[in-house]
């Protein structure tokens, strides 16, 4: 089967700064991939370009075999319009480091309203779906709370439920535990562990939790200067990295 | 005191006109503030530009000059408006320009992450604006809008200069007919103050209700 | 369009002359507002609750009531108690007093924006109260106030035409007189509007420059 996500020669710059430098990357259906690497190496940018939060300056991104930023009109290929982007986005969900829950809505509404508005689900169905997911992340007793009253770990679990409510094929996680107090990291990782058992769900995670990356991912991508400097199974990358930079990075992380 | 009592109907008529003008001009100002404030953030340069010109012109010219311009100049262009209509138009447009800046800055103060989350959830731009951004911006707008409405109430006094029988007009009339000064002006000042208190009270209530869920304190 | 450029040209010098009075009125009332505002701000920090409450109440009252009626009050009531002044003076005092209530608040906010730790550090370094104020606190409190104060000056500028109602012959009243003499309103009123617009745009631009410099 074709990969669910393909990046071909992707270039992204911010002014003079080259953030993604001819990046090539493939993710297979159902694969769990962890992106690691030093700060500023472009990990978040990769996720953000896949989510269309950033445009790209060159190359090609394909989701589910279809170009993200281009579409066919007749026999010609033209830049994607909003309708195309919306169709492509519906395959992908994203969870942010800063949660980004909507503070003016309760937990239930945060999960239920987007699927009502965007997918047009009728209220009862949206509510049932939301309640099920909120229970899945263990927050059934918080459904009517406002996000401001939840701990960071609880907010992040709601954010995961909110993204899952769309039943995306691909989930993007950008350092979802980095903004949390240490004692709250575990509860969020447990939710991710649970999702990792979902055979069909593709997960791409940026993380600084090496142990966790090793535990649940099928493949590790080590980023450096907007390219993949090394990739392979967790055993290979963590136990016998071939790249000096990977080795140095892993040593530094272990010492921290 | 007896003077005030005898003149109560005159004063009440003035108060009523002041209140009508304040309310009507506030509605117009609110509508203009939202249109121009959102237009300032439009992705279309021409729309941004029109909004900017509106805001700069109506904030840059003294309100009394705008009022006189509409009152004296429009008839030369064959536009004949009732004085009270002129009053509402001028005050509404001028304060709408101030309000536009309130709307613009509140909208821009909604964290970027909120728009990004909405985009990731596949909201359209319009849905993002009306369901995510504006509801969070409104509580931020309420306190400055409350202040703006007090300012608006105060400038309605200027309509007395284009023959509208508002509170200030009645004060001057009483002064001229009774030759008393302190009493009518004090009474009218107190009248404005009471109306201002009501406005402040209403906005306090609204702020309390709009704040639900948005208290960003505590855990976060 | 019924706009007579010749007529406009002929009255422009009169209007520009009159704008000098408007500008003078702005500066004088602003100076008055700065001074009264300082006293009010000090009063709001008074040790006596009665003084604090009284001043707070008075400023709230003045801020909630129209400048126009306040000017009428001064204009008509003061002579009755034996104080007669030229209208210009009554006007600038009224406008200055009105805005002093806003400016007191600017002073207060400016002082409060300096972190408490700065006072504590000054005390720890054995500065006296007044030297701490002049050397540590004020130098930090004043720069952020400047653009805010300047914006109030622009607001006051746009309120000067209200003085016309108490017979001050400033820019707008001059235009009014010219207009009513010949019953030609379009040119004088439009010109006054343009003069106001030009001056406030220039002033706002200046404030933005100052702001940019201060923030850096
Ligand atoms: N909107 C932007 N404007 C300018 N530069 C940006 C922008 N977003 C990201 N960058 C820069 O792009 C580079 C890559 O950023 P990115 O967030 O992808 O790094 P990262 O690998 O996720 O790092 P971290 O581990 O710190 O999150 C950084 O140098 C960052 O400063
Ligand atoms: Mg990042």
C160 near B CB under 8 A: yes
| Backbone angle region of B122, left / alpha / beta, with phi > 0 → left and psi within -120 to 50 → alpha | left
Which of these, B12, B2, B13, B18, lies nearest to B157 by C-alpha position? B18
> Does C66 score more than 50 pLDDT?
yes
> Could you say which ligand is closest to the alpha carbon of residue A16?
1
CB contact under 8 A, A118 and B219: no
CB contact under 8 A, C76 and B57: no
Q: Choose the closest CB to B113 out of A90, A100, A151.
A: A100
> Does B217 score more than 50 pLDDT?
no
Chain centre distance of CA B132:
25
| pLDDT at res. B1 | 63
- Contact criterion met (CB below 8 Å) for C71 and C94: yes
Phi/psi for B164 (5° steps) reads -80, 135
pLDDT band of residue B212 (cuts 50, 70, 90) is low
Its sign, for the CA torsion A240, A241, A244, A247, is negative
Chains in touch with A (≥3 Cβ pairs < 8 A): B
Q: For ligand 1, atom 24, which residue shows the shortest CA distance? A: A39
Residue A19 CB–ligand 1 contact under 6 Å: yes
For residues A177 and A184, what is the distance between their CA atoms, to the nearest angstrom?
Answer: 8
Higher pLDDT, C1 or C27: C27
Q: Taking the CA of residue A7 as centre, how many other CA atoms within 13 Å lie in the half-sphere pointing to its CB?
A: 24
| pLDDT at res. C132 | 85
Rounded to the nearest 10 degrees, how much is the dihedral formed by the CA atoms of B116, B117, B122, B127?
-80
Q: Choose the closest CB to B154 out of C66, C72, C186.
A: C66
Q: How many residues does chain A have?
A: 256
| Backbone angle region of A120, left / alpha / beta, with phi > 0 → left and psi within -120 to 50 → alpha | left
Q: Choose the closest CB to C190 out of B69, B172, B182.
A: B69
Q: Which of C1, C193, C200, C205 is the mutation pick for testing B, counting most B CBs within 10 A?
A: C193
> Does C25 score more than 90 pLDDT?
yes
- Contact criterion met (CB below 8 Å) for B59 and B53: no
Q: Is C203 exposed, middle or buried (0-12, 13-18, 19+ CB in 10 A)?
A: middle
Q: For ligand 1, atom 9, which residue shows the shortest CA distance? A: A45
For residues C47 and C53, what is the distance between their CA atoms, to the nearest angstrom?
Answer: 11
State percent of chain A over pLDDT 70: 100
Residues of B with CB below 8 A from A104's CB?
Answer: 135-136, 212-214
Residues 6+ apart with CB under 8 A from B77: C2
Q: How many residues does chain B have?
A: 220
Residues of B with CB below 8 A from C179's CB?
Answer: 72
What DSSP letter does each residue of A183-238 carry, written as one string?
HHHHHHHHHHHHHHT-SS-EEEEE-S-HHHHHHH-SEEEEEETTEEEEEE-HIIII
Residue A75 CB–ligand 1 contact under 6 Å: no
Q: How many residues does chain C have?
A: 216
DSSP SS3 for A67: strand
C167 near B CB under 8 A: no
- Contact criterion met (CB below 8 Å) for B29 and B152: yes
Fold of B2-217: MetI-like fold (1.10.3720)
> Does C35 score more than 90 pLDDT?
yes
- Mean per-residue pLDDT for A204-223? 93
Weakest mean pLDDT among A177-186, A242-251, B53-62, C35-44: A242-251
Q: Min CA distance, B109 vs chain A (Å)?
A: 14
- Mean per-residue pLDDT for C182-211? 93
Helix, strand, coil content of chain A in percent (nearest 5): 40, 25, 35
Q: Report H helices in A31-73.
A: 43-50
Quick one: tokens of A220? 């590790």
Q: Min CA distance, C47 vs chain B (Å)?
A: 28
Mean pLDDT for chain A overall: 93
Distance A6 CA to ligand 2 centre (A): 20
Q: Which domain covers residue C54, as residue numbers? A: 5-215
Q: Choose the closest CB to A104 out of B111, B121, B214.
A: B214
Q: Is B136 exposed, middle or buried (0-12, 13-18, 19+ CB in 10 A)?
A: buried
Question: Which tens digit of pLDDT belongs to each residue from A12-51?
Answer: 999 999 999 999 999 999 999 999 999 999 999 999 999 9
Residues 6+ apart with CB under 8 A from C68: B157, B158, B160, B161, B168, C162, C165
Residue A232 CB–ligand 1 contact under 6 Å: no
pLDDT band of residue B210 (cuts 50, 70, 90) is confident
Residue A45 CB–ligand 1 contact under 6 Å: yes
Q: Where are the beta strands (DSSP E) in B26-158?
A: none
Ligand 1 atom nearest residue A97's Cα: 27
| pLDDT at res. B220 | 31
Distance B62 CA to ligand 2 centre (A): 50
| pLDDT at res. B214 | 61
| pTM for the structure as a whole | 0.87
Residues 6+ apart with CB under 8 A from A162: A101, A110, A111, A114, B121
Its sign, for the CA torsion B74, B149, B134, B106, is positive
| pLDDT at res. A85 | 93
Residues of B with CB below 8 A from A98's CB?
Answer: 113
> Does A1 score more than 80 pLDDT?
no
Mean pLDDT for chain B overall: 93
Give me the helix-helix angle, C186-215 and C5-44, nearest 10°.
Answer: 40
For residues A69 and A84, what is the distance between their CA atoms, to the nearest angstrom?
Answer: 8
Chains in touch with C (≥3 Cβ pairs < 8 A): B
Higher pLDDT, C213 or A234: A234
The residue whose two tokens read 């099928």 is A218
| pLDDT at res. B124 | 94
- Mean per-residue pLDDT for B202-219? 72
Quick one: tokens of B76? 């030369």
**Domain locations in chain B?**
2-217
Which of these, C176, C139, C143, lies nearest to C18 by C-alpha position? C176
> Could you say which ligand is closest to the alpha carbon of residue A223?
1
**Beta-strand pair A227-232/A219-224:** antiparallel
Helices and strands: H and E segment counts in chain B: 10, 0
Helix, strand, coil content of chain C in percent (nearest 5): 85, 0, 15
Strand order in the sheet with A5-14: A17-27, A5-14, A58-63, A66-67
Q: Where are the beta strands (DSSP E) in A64-109?
A: 66-67, 70-73, 76-79, 92-95
CB contact under 8 A, B136 and A103: yes
Q: For ligand 1, atom 17, which residue shows the shortest CA distance? A: A44
> Does B216 score more than 60 pLDDT?
no
Q: Which of C68, C184, C204 is the mutation pick for testing B, counting most B CBs within 10 A?
A: C68
Q: For ligand 1, atom 10, which residue shows the shortest CA distance? A: A14
Residues of B with CB below 8 A from A52's CB?
Answer: 119
Quick one: tokens of B68? 């006189």
pLDDT band of residue C215 (cuts 50, 70, 90) is low
Question: Which tens digit of pLDDT belongs to each residue from C89-139?
Answer: 999 999 999 999 999 999 999 999 998 888 888 888 888 788 888 888 898
For B156, name the nearest residue in chain C, comparing CA atoms only: C66
CB contact under 8 A, A118 and B122: yes
Counting one residue from A and one from B, how many pairs have CB atoms under 8 Å apart? 79
Its sign, for the CA torsion B66, B71, B75, B78, is positive
Residues 6+ apart with CB under 8 A from A3: A26, A27, A28, A29, A62
Task: Please report, for the domain that includes residue C105, its CATH number.
Answer: 1.10.3720.10
Chains C, B in contact: 3+ Cβ pairs under 8 A? yes
Residues of chain B with a CB closer than 8 angstroms to some CB in chain A:
111, 113-114, 116-117, 119-124, 127, 131-132, 135-136, 212-220
| pLDDT at res. B219 | 35
Residue A8 is classified by DSSP as: E
DSSP SS3 for B124: coil
Question: Which tens digit of pLDDT belongs to each residue from A115-147?
Answer: 999 999 999 999 999 999 999 999 999 999 999
State percent of chain C over pLDDT 70: 99
For residues B163 and A225, what is the distance between their CA atoms, to the nearest angstrom?
Answer: 72
- Contact criterion met (CB below 8 Å) for C32 and C92: yes
Q: Which of B110, B120, B213 is the mutation pick for testing A, counting most A CBs within 10 A?
A: B120
CB contact under 8 A, C193 and B72: no
Question: Which tens digit of pLDDT belongs to each residue from B107-141?
Answer: 999 999 999 999 999 999 999 999 999 999 999 99
Residue A42 CB–ligand 1 contact under 6 Å: yes
| pLDDT at res. B2 | 78
Its sign, for the CA torsion A208, A210, A216, A220, is positive
Higher pLDDT, C129 or B39: B39
| pLDDT at res. A252 | 85
Distance B191 CA to ligand 2 centre (A): 59
- Contact criterion met (CB below 8 Å) for B57 and B98: no
Residues of B with CB below 8 A from A114's CB?
Answer: 121-123
> Does A255 score more than 90 pLDDT?
no
> Does A86 score more than 70 pLDDT?
yes
CB contact under 8 A, B219 and A94: no
Chain centre distance of CA A54:
14
Domains held by chain C: number = 1
What DSSP letter does each residue of B4-23 carry, written as one string?
HHHTHHHHHHHHHHHHHHHH
């Amino acid at each position: 089967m074709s990969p669910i996500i393909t990046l071909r020669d992707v270039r992204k710059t911010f002014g003079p700064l080259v953030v993604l430098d001819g990046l090539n990357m493939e993710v297979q259906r159902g694969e769990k991939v962890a992106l690691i690497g030093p700060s500023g190496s472009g990990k978040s940018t990769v996720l953000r370009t896949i989510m269309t939060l950033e445009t790209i300056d060159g190359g090609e991104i394909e989701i589910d075999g279809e170009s993200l930023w281009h579409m066919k009109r007749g026999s010609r290929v033209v830049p994607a319009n909003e309708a195309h982007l919306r169709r492509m986005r519906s395959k992908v969900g994203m969870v942010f480091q800063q949660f980004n829950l909507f503070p003016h809505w309760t937990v239930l509404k945060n999960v239920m309203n987007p699927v009502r508005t965007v997918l047009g689900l009728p209220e009862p169905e949206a509510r049932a779906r939301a309640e099920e997911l909120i229970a899945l992340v263990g927050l059934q007793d918080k459904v009517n709370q406002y996000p401001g009253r939840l701990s960071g770990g609880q907010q992040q679990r709601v954010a995961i439920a909110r993204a899952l409510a769309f039943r995306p094929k691909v989930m993007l996680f950008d350092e979802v535990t980095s903004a949390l107090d240490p004692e709250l990291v575990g509860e969020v990782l447990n939710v991710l562990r649970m999702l990792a058992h979902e055979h069909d769900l593709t997960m791409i995670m940026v993380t600084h939790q090496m142990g966790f990356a090793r535990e649940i991912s099928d493949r590790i991508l080590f980023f450096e200067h907007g390219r993949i400097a090394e990739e392979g199974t967790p055993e290979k990358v963590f136990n016998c990295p071939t790249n000096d930079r990977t080795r140095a990075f892993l040593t530094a992380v272990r010492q921290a | 005191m007896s003077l005030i009592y005898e003149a109560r109907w005159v004063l009440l008529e003035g108060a009523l006109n002041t209140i009508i003008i304040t309310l009507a001009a506030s509605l117009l100002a609110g509508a203009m503030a939202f249109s121009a404030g959102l237009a300032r953030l439009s992705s279309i340069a021409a729309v941004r530009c029109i909004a900017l010109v509106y805001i700069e012109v109506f904030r840059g010219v003294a309100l009394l000059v705008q009022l006189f311009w509409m009152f004296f100049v429009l008839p030369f262009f064959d536009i004949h408006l009732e004085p009270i209509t002129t009053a509402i138009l001028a005050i509404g447009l001028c304060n709408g320009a101030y309000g536009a800046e309130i709307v613009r800055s509140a909208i821009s103060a909604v964290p970027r992450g909120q728009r990004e989350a909405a985009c990731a959830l596949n909201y359209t731009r319009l849905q993002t604006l009306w369901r995510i951004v504006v509801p969070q911006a409104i509580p931020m707008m309420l306190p400055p809008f409350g202040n703006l409405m007090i300012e608006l109430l105060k400038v309605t006094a200027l309509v007395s200069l284009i023959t509208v029988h508002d509170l200030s007009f009645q004060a001057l009339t009483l002064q001229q007919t009774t030759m008393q000064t302190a009493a009518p002006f004090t009474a009218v000042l107190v009248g404005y103050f009471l109306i201002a208190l009501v406005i402040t009270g209403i906005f306090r209530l609204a702020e309390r209700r709009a704040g639900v869920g948005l208290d960003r304190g505590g855990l976060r | 369009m019924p706009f007579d450029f010749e007529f406009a040209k002929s009255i422009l010098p009169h209007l520009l002359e009159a704008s000098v009075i408007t500008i003078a009125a702005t500066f004088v009332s602003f100076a008055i507002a700065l001074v009264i505002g300082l006293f009010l701000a000090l009063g709001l920090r008074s040790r006596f609750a009665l003084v604090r409450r009284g001043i707070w109440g008075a400023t709230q009252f003045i801020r909630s009531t129209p400048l126009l009626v306040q000017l009428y009050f001064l204009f008509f009531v003061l002579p009755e108690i034996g104080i007669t002044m030229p209208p210009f003076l009554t006007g600038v005092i009224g406008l200055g007093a009105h805005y002093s209530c806003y400016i007191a608040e600017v002073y207060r906010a400016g002082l409060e924006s300096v972190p408490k730790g700065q006072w504590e550090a000054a005390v720890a370094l054995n500065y006296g109260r007044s030297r701490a104020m002049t050397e540590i606190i004020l130098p930090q409190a004043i720069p952020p106030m400047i653009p805010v104060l300047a914006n109030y000056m622009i607001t006051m500028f746009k309120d000067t035409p209200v003085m016309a109602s108490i017979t001050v012959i400033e820019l707008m009243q001059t235009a009014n007189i010219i207009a009513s003499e010949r019953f030609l309103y379009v040119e004088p009123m439009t010109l006054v509007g343009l003069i106001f617009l030009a001056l406030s745009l220039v002033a706002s631009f200046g404030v933005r420059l100052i702001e940019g410099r201060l923030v850096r």
